[in-house]
Structure 1
Amino acid sequence: MTRYEEAGPLSRIVSVDRLKRSDGRLIVTASPEECAALAADFGIPSIQDLVGTFETSGQLSAFRVRGTVAALVTQVCTVTLEPFEGPVSESVDLLFTGTDRLEGTDAEDADIPDPIVGGKIDFGTITAEFLALGLDPYPRKPGVAFEPHIEDADEGPLAALRGLKSAKD
């Protein structure tokens, strides 16, 4: 089974050879159905207008992908629990290399390029992954601040025990 047989709801597999013959630009525009599937995967109410814009350069030995992923997302405020819309924009800068160049490389190295599998790159997966990176894990509706509840020392859960101690003294 190849890496792309496990592709998620947004997949745009493109041959590196095709990219080298083109002007090096590629745009991924997610359909409403793909946006709905990604929103379900990410556990958010909705995603709209998801677009990945990429520029590519290089050869199989070192192939660079740069660009931007942008969308309008609806998330749920962690304070008010109300849904709200907001833009997400995430920069992309990736280096890919042929899989034969990865042999013998320590998987713990931080700067290992992503592999080019079968001479192809899935730009849909890149778009989905960078959108996920751009989502706020604790989203707050604009203008909403978290204000912790501070209990008065006389009203807390131990107030009854303090009352018993005072009565005993």
Structure 2
Amino acid sequence: MTLSKKDRLTALEKRLKGTDTPLPGDELAKAFDVSRQVIVQDIGLLRAKAVPVIATSRGYYIEVANGHQRVFKCRHRDDQITDELNLIVDLGASCEDVFVEHRIYGKINARMDVKSRKDVQNFMNNIYTSVSTPLKNITDGYHFHTVSADDEKTLDEVEAMLEKEGFLVKE
């Protein structure tokens, strides 16, 4: 039985809220017996209703803010990206995004959603197989990360380790 649009949107929102991992659009399309394009349109309708749906290269999910967030300004070489991200996730935090402050274009932000070493590895594989370069390279290595964790103590540990490893830029 095919669901009405209203029922499908309700079921889609419930399914996205009920997962900790992104759900691929193709998987959602199959589950609801609709095309991938219909899922894309449904995601747009959910966002229009202020449902915080996030799209990643791995699929869709509803953003649930962790208890605490902090922004860190960092700088390092390309060959240190893996070390920086592993440091964050190994301490139990998540790297939500990367952004730069460009003098002409302003803030340029990219969602990362890196929560584990596997996510770090997938992110790095995408960089290595892409013709693009890391966002930090347009600002001489300077960039910011929004990092989330369950508590302030974890964020303090992340900050201390970023500083110890020489990644943290003090203003």
Same fold, TM exceeding 0.5?
no
The structure where strand makes up a greater share of residues is: 1
Which TM-score tier does this pair reach, normalised by the shorter chain?
under 0.3
Q: Tell me which structure has the larger Cα radius of gyration.
A: 1
Alignment TM-score, normalising by the size of structure 1: 0.21
Alignment TM-score, normalising by the size of structure 2: 0.21
